[in-house]
Structure 1
């Protein structure tokens, strides 16, 4: 017996309804389910954002090239930076030897290869920038730890000293400190710039440590009777160093610029047999009108390297700071 057409349609509608309700239930179960996945650390999460950030990659490329040139300067430079290869071409009418085979950028006013001096200058600039940053970081760690860990009158005294140092522009403070030394050298530049950077690190570390003092793990350690020294150096200080280390990356750029300014003002290393970009920039002042390339090359090197460290530091800060994540 042939089923009635209306009966077949009703059975088909019932089948579709049952299959549809089953699909809806399956989708509902999938929507409410939570997939099992491994946790991601803060550094791994930050790296995921950094590797998609074109500004970070651009800055990292600049820093990597700068470090490569500074480390392998003896292999990359074709000539000794202190040897006067082109001294015979230095005349009153032509004080700067032009570019020629073997000397693509020409020479300076003493007949030394300009390109080799730029390459060797990257090493001296790196030493000054990193050395000044480390000096400022160590001083800031001492003052910031004292203020953030002890609090009370120690915090008040330390922060008043920091406020006085911050009231003076960093470059002016560095110049004042450099003048106090009897004879200018590379180490006096490092110390002068490092002292000028101390209050920046001290204030930043102090604020981070104050935020850690009221955290749950510090309160739990105190409740368990852990000694205050262990709480400071094992709980508070390690968890407060993140923003300070990120700031150190940007301070390297500031230190390089300040070192160039001190050398330009004549407060840098007077020995030009070991070239430094700021020193080269200062020596080119008398030729700026007739031979502007003498100032252009070291200036563009300083600008590009400072830009690279700044981009890396800003990208790290945004990646590690939850408030500024994009």
Structure 2
């Protein structure tokens, strides 16, 4: 053995001894430190839920959303009075008392037609939910079709669809929705739904197209192509299901925007013309005449819209942070 190998061997022994001493001081042996935990892995959804259930912002948004949905479902049964009846019409005087104030059985008073204001607020939640959900589902459906075609085929198909999407995105959303709703010969609830859904289509299409393009280079997609799987099967079974996560999260955020846009169109008189069926945006529009002397007619519907939109926004932002690896906390 050469003389220069002995110092090296001694140096290696001293390093090993220091590592053993450090592991012993921490209460863990070297063998235990290198052991692999045999516990089961956690999927993306389960991991996201673990973070979400400890997130107070998500829990607040979820509580607001659940309360709003439950209220909209049971509204006709818990409303104190029929929102179309006008039991206080005898107390309405255009000169002296245009808006009856609160009294027994009518805690928020009545509107200019003598109808119970609280009942109209409660029942109006159902119409607001219907318009918001229907418009979001319509925009999601259209965006799924365009985004899937653009992301699956690419080339000319992708270029044409994306140029159409760019044109739609270049126009302010509320202005585009107003223009579409104004084309209808007669305002209705469906014109509002169609207008808002059309505005939401390019948002979902661009998002899904980006997710689809990212999936095209994944290993499981390349393996399916190498095995000779048909393009339609690759798109529908491998690419599309793995691209829907960001789209579903975006749908919760779009739902808040859809509720606000629906209220804006109804406020401008492009919604349901029959005021016997209450809706929060419609109630805002009818309160404009009496806003100076009776601001509560606008305050309560506006507060309901703000709180519900805030609930969906908080829930959607929390979902996006929990599911996006780049923004996890």
Fold in common (TM above 0.5): yes
| Structure-2 residue corresponding to 1:268 | 271
Instruction: Give a deviation string over 1:51-93, Cα, whole Å, max 9, x none.
Output: 0100000000000110110000122101100000100010021
CA distance in structure 1 between the partners assigned to 2:31 and 2:236 by the alignment: 49
The answer to whether the 8 Å contact 2:125/2:279 transfers is yes
The answer to whether the 8 Å contact 2:75/2:122 transfers is yes
Shift of 1:22: 10
The answer to whether the 8 Å contact 2:23/2:30 transfers is no
| Structure-1 residue corresponding to 2:49 | 47
Tell me the matched-pair count.
307
| Structure-2 residue corresponding to 1:251 | 254
| Structure-2 residue corresponding to 1:122 | 125
| Structure-2 residue corresponding to 1:80 | 82
Shift of 1:32: 2.1
Gapped regions of structure 1 (runs ≥ 5)? 1-19
Instruction: Pick the aligned partner of 2:208 from 190, 205, 209.
Output: 205
Which structure 1 residue ranges, 4+ long, deviate > 3 Å from structure 2? 20-26
Q: Give the TM-score taking structure 2 as reference length.
A: 0.91
Matched, 1:110 2:113: yes
The SS at the match of 1:310 is helix
| Structure-2 residue corresponding to 1:65 | 67
CA distance in structure 2 between the partners assigned to 1:117 and 1:233 by the alignment: 45
Instruction: Give a deviation string over 1:116-142, Cα, whole Å, max 9, x none.
Output: 000000000000000000010011011
Shift of 1:287: 0.8
Matched, 1:177 2:174: no
Query: Structure 1 pair 97/34, CA: closer, same or farther in 2 (3 Å)?
Result: same
Query: Structure 1 pair 31/21, CA: closer, same or farther in 2 (3 Å)?
Result: closer
CA distance in structure 1 between the partners assigned to 2:33 and 2:98 by the alignment: 78
Query: Structure 1 pair 104/222, CA: closer, same or farther in 2 (3 Å)?
Result: same
Matched, 1:38 2:19: no
The answer to whether the 8 Å contact 2:150/2:209 transfers is yes
| Structure-2 residue corresponding to 1:309 | 312
Q: Give the TM-score taking structure 1 as reference length.
A: 0.92
The residue correspondences of 1:226-241 to structure 2 (distance < 5 A) are 226-241=229-244
Gapped regions of structure 2 (runs ≥ 5)? 1-20
Instruction: Give a deviation string over 1:260-284, Cα, whole Å, max 9, x none.
Output: 1001111111111110000000100
Shift of 1:29: 2.6
Shift of 1:35: 2.1
| Structure-2 residue corresponding to 1:28 | 30
CA distance in structure 1 between the partners assigned to 2:325 and 2:252 by the alignment: 19
CA distance in structure 2 between the partners assigned to 1:23 and 1:278 by the alignment: 69
CA distance in structure 2 between the partners assigned to 1:64 and 1:179 by the alignment: 33
CA distance in structure 1 between the partners assigned to 2:184 and 2:23 by the alignment: 84
CA distance in structure 1 between the partners assigned to 2:92 and 2:142 by the alignment: 47
CA distance in structure 1 between the partners assigned to 2:312 and 2:22 by the alignment: 59
The SS at the match of 1:95 is coil
Query: Structure 1 pair 96/164, CA: closer, same or farther in 2 (3 Å)?
Result: same
CA distance in structure 2 between the partners assigned to 1:61 and 1:148 by the alignment: 36
